[in-house]
Each structure stands twice: as C-alpha cells, then as structure tokens.
Amino acid sequence: MKIAIVCGHFIPSMGYLEVHLANAFHKLNHKVKVITTNVIPAYVKNISNLSESTPYEIIRLTPSFSMGQMIKAKGLVEAVQKFDPQLVICIGVGKLFPKPIYKLKDRDFRLITLLGDNEETYTAKGYTKKLKNSLIQQFVKKTVYLQAIKKSDVLFPYTPSTIDIICRFVNAKYAEMLKSKSHQISLGFDDEHFFYNALERNEQRKQLGISAHETLLITATRVVPEKGLEKIIDLVDIVNKKGLHINYLIVGFQEDEYSKNLKEYIAQKEHKNRIICKPFSATSQTRKYYNAADTAIFSRAAISIFEALATGLFLLLPQQKNMSHILTKENGVYFDSLTEDVIIECINHQKENRVFRVNAAKMFSYTNLAHQILKLSEV
C-alpha cells in the first residue's frame, strides 16, 4: 500500500511520532512517502539535524509562512496527488500544515488524522502568553481542527485526554463527530532500538561506576526549565542524606545557559557525586543508559516514557489523564506530588519482574501501533 505521511516537521534524528510511524509502515512493506518542510523547530535546533538517511522518500517543501510551531507551504496537495496514495495520514493539526488536504473536494484516498492535544498543550505561563495562545487557537487553529474532524475518515487521539481537550473549543456538533470517528491509540517506542539487554546493563553500570546492589534512577529528556528537574535533584539529595543510597542519571544536557546553571545547582548538593550528568545522546546510547538503570522518573508526558518502558524499567509518573493508560501496578506508580516517598519507591521495586515488564510493554511498540492504525482505518 502507498501511504503518505503529512506533517509540518520531520526530523529523523529526533524520532518523534511521525518518524517512528513512517519507519514502522516501511518495515511492514508499505511504500511510504513523507511530505513535510525543510524547517527544524527552534526548540530542538541545537540538538538535531535533517538527516535524510531513511529507506523511504521525504519531500521537503519550502515554507511560505512559519511562526513558532505553525507552518505552511505551497505544493502540498500537488505532492500528495502525484504520489497517488491509498492512505494519507495527517499529523500536527495545530501546526496548520495539513490544512490544504482537508480542503480537497475530491480525493481517492482514505484520510486519517492523529491528534495529540492534552492538558500540557495549553499550559503557557503568564497572562500575555496565555492570551496570545488563546487568540491563536480561537481565530487561527480552530478552523483547521474543524476541517480535520469533518473531513477525516478516522481520527486517532493518542492520549486519553485528547478528546476532552479538543471538545473544549469546538461546538457540540463537532464534539459528537470527533467522538464518533475516534479510535484511541498511544505514543510508543521503536522496538528495533529500545529493548532490554543484560550485557549492556552490566557494561554500562561498570562505566558509570554503579555496583550491582546500588539503585540507579534515570530521567532522559531535553534538559529545560519546564521539566522541573531541580525538584527531583533535591529529593535525591535528601534521600541520600537519610542513608538510602540512590544514584540519579540525567541524560539530555545541552550547551546552553540553563544546562550550565543546572550543573552548578547540582554541584552545591551534599551528595552531588551521586548525580550523573550526560549530554543529549544518540538512540543507542540512551538505550544503554536505560538498561543500566533500575527506575525512570518523569515529571511531564514524553515519548521517552515509552522508550524507558520498553527496557523494562519501573516508572514513576505524575498522576495526569494524558498518562493514565501507561502504568499498571507491575510496571510503575503514579504520584500526586513529588515527595521523598516517591523516590524511595524506586528502591522497593528496582529489580522486580523486569522481564515481565519488558514483555508487557510490547503493546506500545510502533510496529503494533501501525498494525492497529491500518486495521482501524479500514483501508
């Protein structure tokens, strides 16, 4: 089958949802073409590049408009029609890029849209920024959401809170249409790159200086202020002061002012030697770090959560609806607020049932999710 993936940004080196799905569909022997732009969003510009080392074709259009995450380009419809796909997958409605596809009056392909809006999408701080975002949503983005809901054959929300969030800014008619067309899916992980390997675990722990009986907690994410890493660092230091030895590995430092300041913050801690700082790393190295660790902790929703899950880590996650589908009592705990008890929890579960957790995580592999999407799209 010929599958076109339409998205405003596509960065193979970062491996977001659109990249993972393109890879998964290709592995399932479908002919994939990605139609996107030649732009890297500002927030990842210093840690990514537009590597074209993919086994499928990427058409990169030059933007006619770009502001923040919003982006438009001429030639999208023509590129899709020339490919003549049986299925078109639009990702990133709020970026505006797929809009011309929804305006097509006649088409010979099934059209589906993936939606990821959740409670963290609209959490800007400060009155001015909130007002700006609200106006953009109401007068610029809303129209594209309405078109996506109306014109898509199937809609795939990929967090449990997505439908509720979108229903807040569409009328009752479109809310019902959204609900009737939707099939819940999830973010996931690439099972070719994220898996458990005992040899990698032992070798990486030796390199990090972590003995077999010690606990290693990990967070792999872009190190930015919104992640609230200071709170976790404080608690790790407090727990160590009480004689409960926990090592904390943070992967994702950049060459910027905030990363520098965070390292200085860590250097002031009594147990600073138990906090390990590593730069933003390639997929293979990140997997090795996960394999070396015992527990992962995240303060916000992120694709990294599923990658950690794939390696069998016990997860500590905030109690939020957008993550409510991830954990069972065997693979992690949700916390209402981050406390010493949450950190201590990772000691209690650090080496239990890892193989079981690895097997349970397979439902979130992008290969499995690609199969689900095709089946539910009725292509």
Alpha helices in 4-86 (DSSP H): 17-27, 76-83
Strand, helix or coil for residue 156: strand
Query: Rounded to an integer, what distance in angstroms lies between the CA atom of residue 335 and that of residue 316?
Result: 7
Query: Rounded to an integer, what distance in angstroms lies between the CA atom of residue 328 and that of residue 331?
Result: 6
Contacting residues for 273 by C-beta, under 8 A, at least 6 apart: none
pLDDT of residue 46: 67
Cα maximum dimension of the chain: 68
pLDDT, averaged per 10 consecutive residues of the chain (379 residues), comes to 97 89 97 95 71 89 93 97 98 96 96 94 66 70 96 97 95 97 97 96 97 94 93 96 94 95 98 97 95 95 94 95 93 93 78 87 96 92
DSSP 62: P
Closest Cα partner for 361 from 320, 317, 327? 327
Strand, helix or coil for residue 34: strand
Residue 99, both tokens: 């809009």
Contact 275, 269 (CB under 8 A): yes
pLDDT of residue 119: 87
DSSP 140: I
- The half-sphere exposure of 49 on its side-chain side, counting CA atoms within 13 A, is 4
pLDDT of residue 344: 87
Query: Rounded to an integer, what distance in angstroms lies between the CA atom of residue 186 and that of residue 156?
Result: 9
Amino acid making up residue 33: K
Closest Cα partner for 146 from 116, 118, 172, 120? 172
Amino acid making up residue 113: T
pLDDT of residue 321: 95
Residue 70, both tokens: 């919003």
Contact 193, 185 (CB under 8 A): no
pLDDT of residue 124: 59
List the domains of the chain with CATH numbers: 2-185 (3.40.50.2000), 198-362 (3.40.50.2000)
Closest Cα partner for 258 from 230, 219, 292, 298? 230
Contact 167, 146 (CB under 8 A): no
pLDDT of residue 15: 77
Model's pTM, two decimal places?
A: 0.92
Contact 222, 247 (CB under 8 A): no
